[in-house]
Amino acid sequence: MGLSRIVVDVVGNHGCQREKKAGEQLGKCGQASCTDCMARDYVAALKNAGGNTVEKATITHWPAEKNPPTDDLLAGTRTVGFDRKRAEGAPAETFDFSEALRRLRAGNWTGPRKLARQGWNGKGMYVVRQEGYPDGVPINANTARATGVPEGTVIKFLPYLMMKTADGAFVPWLISQTDALADDWTELE
């Protein structure tokens, strides 16, 4: 028998037991779709199955952050606590656009990611990565009028960045020099 490593990147639908501090025991939250609880159950099943020795099992919340919250699944404890500001919804860190772009590109593999600048005046504005339609999609009447291509024609669309504006609309987005050089980018929940 050899060593196996199982790595799973998951974006869950809620924050399980964010109030727990480092060293505190973790229990079950009771939500059937909780990825944290599913991971704890999986590790317990591995430990209880014959012939398995689990040497390390952790959950790292927000792995791109410095000193991210971490749970030890073998001990059932939180080893690094949640930043209280983050748990209440305020951004825990800022970074430059190269990091924002890295997160946007990785986001569609782990779930949608919303990035914004603290310096933007509009409330609720953020940028996401639209995957496009690599296999093509039939174009609608608006796109047909804009492109001169007949409605219903299957066209491939490449990935692009899209912004949610202050009034709730979405628009394809192109970065400005100010945004490109800013160090106040942050990731929203």
Identify the pLDDT of residue 34: 81
Task: Give the confidence band of 15 by pLDDT, cuts at 50, 70, 90.
Answer: low
Statement: residue 187 has pLDDT above 70: yes
- Which one is predicted more confidently, 173 or 53? 173
Q: Give the largest CA-CA distance in the chain.
A: 65
Residue 35 CB burial class (10 angstroms; 0-12, 13-18, ≥19):
middle
Considering the chain, what percentage of its residues have pLDDT values greater than 70? 82
- Which one is predicted more confidently, 43 or 160? 160
Half-sphere exposure of 138 (CA within 13 A, CB side): 4
- Which one is predicted more confidently, 13 or 146? 146
Identify the pLDDT of residue 9: 66
pTM for the structure as a whole: 0.53
Residue 52 region, left (φ>0) first, then alpha (ψ -120 to 50), else beta? beta
DSSP-assigned letter for residue 25? B
Statement: residue 163 has pLDDT above 80: yes
Q: List Cβ neighbours of 174 (8 Å cut-off, separation of 6 or more).
A: 161
Convert the pLDDT of each residue in 65-98 to its tens digit: 666 778 888 888 887 766 544 545 544 578 999 9
- Which one is predicted more confidently, 6 or 144? 144
Convert the pLDDT of each residue in 96-140 to its tens digit: 999 999 889 886 555 678 999 988 888 889 999 998 899 999 999
109 and 135 Cβ atoms separated by less than 8 Å: no
Q: What sign for the dihedral angle of Cα 131, 164, 33, 9?
A: positive
Identify the pLDDT of residue 129: 92
Considering the chain, what percentage of its residues have pLDDT values greater than 90? 37
Instruction: Tell me the C-alpha distance between 88 and 91, whole Å.
Output: 9
Task: Give the confidence band of 174 by pLDDT, cuts at 50, 70, 90.
Answer: very high
Domain ranges, ordered by start, for the chain = 1-87, 97-188
- What's the rounded mean pLDDT across residues 24-38? 81
Mean pLDDT of the chain: 82
Instruction: Tell me the C-alpha distance between 139 and 141, whole Å.
Output: 7
Identify the pLDDT of residue 113: 85
Quick one: which of 95, 78, 75, 65 has its CA closest to 19?
A: 78
